[in-house]
Amino acid sequence: MLKRIRKWILIISIPLATALSFGFVDSYFELSKNLDVFATLLRELNTYYVDDIKPGELIKKGIDEMLNTLDPYTEFYAESDIEDYRMMVTGQYGGIGCLIRQKGDYVMVGEPYEGFPAQKAGLMSGDIISEIDGKPIKGKTTADVSKLLKGQANTSVKVLVERGGNKKTFEVTLVREEIKIKNVPYYGVVGDGSVGYIKLTGFTENAAKEVKTAFQELKGKNNIQSLIFDLRDNGGGLLKESVDIVNTFVSKDQEIVQQKGKVKEMNRTHKALYAPVDTSMPIIILTNKNSASASEIVSGSLQDLDRGVVLGQRTFGKGLVQQTIQLSYGTQMKVTTAKYYTPSGRCIQELDYIHKSTSGKAEHIPDSLIREFKTKNGRSVYDGSGIYPDITLEPRQYALITATIVAKNYIFDYATKYRLSRASIPASKDFALTEDEYKDFLQFLSDKTYEYTTKSEKSFEELKKNAESEKYFDSMKAEYDTLKSKIAANKKEDISKYKAEIKDLLEEEIASRYFYQRGRLESSLRDDNELKESIRVIHDEQLYKSILSGKGQYKVIGKPGETQAKANTEEEEGVIDEPVIPESKDKKPADAPKKKGG
């Protein structure tokens, strides 16, 4: 292996040295010199280190750490990871079709995908997986189990399942299929029936086709007069799909996005290549802080072209483009090759990964370098800070007690119990827990622990420490104890105080047990304040036109110096942005889905 590396160094260094300018010669000399040093180091390490080493693991670790110094999106994929990478790009894989999640030493079914082997075989959310093909899986992670459940289509896998907590098990044999994860898990009509709604969760292959099909059906069958396009929590994906989605709503030959990088031959201007479906229907695009990458191309382009109103929160701010490069021995690298620019000419990349702080963290683009650009109608927009919405709304915030109950899996577990006791429920848009059923949930919680510490309690502990250190505490102890007991009493009322939001999450989780992902989404729309505001705005023709024409306060969209929503520690007392899910969440924009599936 070391001989091949040294030989490769000679092969690339000689022609490059003669073909490139002297500046590049110096660069490639540094490259070849350091490759030689690395190869020599590895050879001597392999020879002299006191214990046997694994060169492959060392090199993989070295590659990963090297790429981490660049940006979070440049990644190396070993040959064993290629299938997972293919799934992230295409949304397809061979398996049984379900999400899985950790529960103690075991892995359980999180949610079956409707219409695929797990659901067709009768597996349900909450089922504990005990064995796979006769092998116990106690102690294994979701990643371990995911690999065991995946495989070539038309091959079989036996799964031993425990259901209902009674330790009774049953075995199912599933025939794997080619699983295709939908980019559009739900679409329908909202409000008075004249407003269409499309939820887009990814930008894998055929995302644009799914959006176009949904839009055409809503126009043809439902005769919608306006559209709400939901990109919230969509981490992005393929640039081509984002261009084709914008093409659905703008005229042919319209410039949508440019990509510019170091290699000039790879620079591109992406235009609408096809006839649009509709260029005049009012559109509202919903975004939040997790809308990233391809989501920002769609929202930013439609905003720059004054084709739709963006509503919600400022987006993530990822203006970088990655391409996949084939390497030797079946490996691949996803590398950042360019930045993208929306039709106004702005790049919305927020973090500077080249000029990092002394601690190694990427820095925000300074306000002094943020520039102004103009939309088609002359509205002011800015680069370097994601996509600011035309109408900014505060995100829904959840109480600490709600987040704790979710994190402890109590809502998930109660929904499992509920599903086992009832064969059916009304349609998800109509389903609501009765008072008796909510009381049953409270009874379910009665022997559970869900401790959490409020900001008031933290402040009181800090007050006590400071007062003790300054010798004031003895004189104020009585008042301190009284206030602390009042806080504790109020805290006990949280389960009643935040009943509405807890009940909403319960109903969404239960709806998913009968109607899967589309049921969860449909249930969540009933109490979606951002959706309600979108419907209000889209029905107000004068307001909608005023926004796009830049009248009054809508002349300037976002200003340098404005920041994203406050961090959780700075939020209103006792609330957070979203319930904490008990699985780890990768906050890096996922240019593809990253959920563990089987």
**Which positions are catalytic?**
293, 304, 318
Neighbours of 203 (CB within 10 A): 31
Query: Which DSSP string do the residues of 386-440 spell out, in sequence order?
Result: ----SEE-PPP-EEHHHHHHHHTTHHHHHHHHHHHH-S--S-TTT----HHHHHH
The one-letter amino acid code at 406 reads V
Q: 3-state class of 499 per DSSP?
A: helix
Place of tokens 């319209």: 254
Residue pair 341/378 in contact by the 8 Å Cβ criterion: no
139: left (phi over 0), alpha (psi -120 to 50) or beta: left
Paired residues of 362 in beta bridges: 356
- Count of positions (residues) in the chain: 598
Residue pair 117/105 in contact by the 8 Å Cβ criterion: no
DSSP E strands in 243-319: the ranges are 255-261, 268-271, 283-287, 309-312
The one-letter amino acid code at 110 reads G
CA triple 314-519-113, angle to 5 deg? 95
Q: Write 544-550 long-range contacts (CB < 8 A, 24+).
A: 544/282, 544/309, 547/309, 547/390, 547/391, 548/306, 548/309, 548/377, 549/306, 549/377, 550/375, 550/377, 550/378, 550/379
Paired residues of 149 in beta bridges: none
Q: Which residues contact 171 (CB under 8 A, 6 or more apart)?
A: 158, 159, 160, 161
* DSSP type of residue 564: P
Using CA atoms, how far residue 189 sits from 195, 215, 228, 307, 461, in Å, is 6, 11, 9, 21, 51
Using CA atoms, how far residue 207 sits from 91, 201, 210, 295, 497, in Å, is 10, 9, 5, 12, 41
Token couple for 283: 């559109």
* DSSP type of residue 597: B
Query: Which DSSP string do the residues of 174-193 spell out, in sequence order?
Result: EE-EEEE--S--EEEEETTT
Number of helices (H) and strands (E) in the chain: give both, helices first.
Answer: 18, 25
Q: For residue 198, which phi and psi values (nearest 5 degrees)?
A: -125, 125
